[in-house]
Amino acid sequence: MTERILLAHGDGGVLSHQLITGVFHKYLGNNQLNQLNDAAIVKSEHGSLAITTDSFVVKPVFFPGGNIGKLAVVGTVNDLAVVGAVPKYLTAGFIIEEGMLISQLEEIVKTMAATAHEAGVQVIAGDTKVVERGSADLVYINTTGIGFVPEGRNLAYSRIEAGNVIIINGSIGDHGLTIMSQRAGLEFITSLKSDCAPLNMQIEVLLQEFGDDIKFMRDPTRGGVATTIKEIATASGYDMLLAEDNLPINEVVAGMADMLGLDPLYLANEGKFLMIANKIAAKKIVEKINKFPGCSKAAIIGDVKTGKGNVFLKTAFGGTKILDLLVGEPLPRIC
């Protein structure tokens, strides 16, 4: 490990993994924490609780399609939803930089309230800290989410099998590219906007309709689709084969990513889930998703094969590329 923290320790890629296992798991490790799921599930006499936490440091705080407050609700709600939980409660911890306009804070809190309402969750506990000018960047928000997992529901790496397929519920890279474009001063491209949206209502409908045909889900946020699929491959021990031709990418995202030298497969998404499902049900699942309001680009993007936890991309030109965790140029403060 390096001697000091680098920006890349926070980008969800290789160095993040090293930090998590080398420092956090080393001391705090336990069955829950070590599973590296989007949310921990604890079984108690009170039923199965799903619990997840995320701090949001996105820069800029306001961006097309949302703001840090919307992201803070959506990110945590989605982490609960992909483990099969029904999100119920949120906590919100604010670290505010001295000098922030109260009208900006109000705008953010207002958006949080609207998004929480949309997702059907309540913010039941909060905290506010203020730090001196220059000791934060406007505002950071932590949200922790608590949900309940209905009895009999079990989405787990161990349920993944060879022959399953990989589904995504829409286009990739929109959130990450929106943020990077803003930072590159390209905000005049108005058609580009973050996909950030709560997914729990959609996911609940799918789980109720397709039940055990759905094996596992994750939301491809930091590190993007490639990193998330690689994590699933590593944890399950299966190979994953993605077909580049099948990846839904908006035209403006593809063009802009090319211009900025970014690969959409490694760009964060905030309104997307990856689903491993039985092949036999996959077409119906995709059709169902594409009937949800605003959805039309859900697709089967790959296959699960017997293997050693590798991820391969069949490129549009007919070649095959190995995909690994995000490494190299960090994309800091994307969420």
Which residues inside 11-40 make contact with a copy of itself, applying CB under 8 A?
11, 16, 19-20, 23-24, 26-28, 30, 32-33, 39-40
Q: Is 137 in the site for a copy of itself (CB under 8 A)?
A: yes
Q: Which of residues 262-301 bind a copy of itself (CB under 8 A)?
A: none
Closest separation between CB of residue 17 and a copy of itself, Å? 10
Q: What number of chain residues touch a copy of itself (CB under 8 A)? A: 81
Of 112 and 241, the one with the shorter C-beta distance to a copy of itself is 112
Q: 299 - beta bridge partners? A: 168
DSSP-derived letter for residue 191 is T
Is the Cβ–Cβ distance between 56 and 115 less than 8 Å? no
Q: Is 134 in the site for a copy of itself (CB under 8 A)?
A: yes
Q: Contact with a copy of itself (CB under 8 A): which of 60, 62, 105, 263?
A: 105
Pick the piece of the chain touching a copy of itself (CB under 8 A) from 110-118, 161-169, 247-255, 314-322: 110-118
Q: Contact with a copy of itself (CB under 8 A): which of 118, 120, 136, 279?
A: 136
Q: Is 151 in the site for a copy of itself (CB under 8 A)?
A: no
Q: Please give the Cα distance from 247 to 15 (Å, whole number).
A: 27
β-sheet with 86-97: strand ranges across:
40-44, 47-56, 139-149, 86-97, 122-131
Closest separation between CB of residue 135 and a copy of itself, Å? 4
Query: Residue 187: enclosing H or E segment and its boundaries?
Result: none
Q: Is 312 in the site for a copy of itself (CB under 8 A)?
A: no
Q: What is the DSSP string of 116-177?
A: HHHHT-EEEEEEEEEE-TTSSSSEEEEEEEEEEEPTT----GGG--TT-EEEESS-SSHHHH
Type of residue numbered 238: Y
Q: Contact with a copy of itself (CB under 8 A): which of 71, 85, 96, 229?
A: 96
Q: Please give the Cα distance from 9 to 11 (Å, whole number).
A: 6
Q: Contact with a copy of itself (CB under 8 A): which of 101, 151, 251, 293?
A: 101
Please tell me the total number of residues recorded for the chain in this structure: 335
Instruction: State the maximum Cα–Cα separation within the chain, in Å, rounded to a whole number.
Output: 57
Q: Is 82 in the site for a copy of itself (CB under 8 A)?
A: no
Q: Which of residues 314-333 bind a copy of itself (CB under 8 A)?
A: 332-333
Is the Cβ–Cβ distance between 61 and 138 less than 8 Å? yes
Q: Is 150 in the site for a copy of itself (CB under 8 A)?
A: no
Least Cα distance to 139 among 53, 198, 71 occurs for: 71
Where residue 256 falls (left for φ over 0; alpha for ψ -120 to 50; beta otherwise) is alpha
Mind spelling out the 3-state secondary structure of 8-36?
HHHCCCHHHHHHHHHHHHHHHCCCCHHHC
Q: Please give the Cα distance from 86 to 81 (Å, whole number).
A: 6
Closest separation between CB of residue 20 and a copy of itself, Å? 7
Q: Is 184 in the site for a copy of itself (CB under 8 A)?
A: no
Closest separation between CB of residue 68 and a copy of itself, Å? 12
Q: Contact with a copy of itself (CB under 8 A): which of 60, 62, 118, 123?
A: 123
Q: Contact with a copy of itself (CB under 8 A): which of 14, 60, 62, 93?
A: 93
Geometric angle at alpha carbon 63, from 190 and 121, rounded to 5° = 125
Closest separation between CB of residue 310 and a copy of itself, Å? 26
Q: Contact with a copy of itself (CB under 8 A): which of 14, 62, 64, 91?
A: 91
Q: Is 100 in the site for a copy of itself (CB under 8 A)?
A: yes
Q: Which of residues 55-74 bind a copy of itself (CB under 8 A)?
A: 55-57
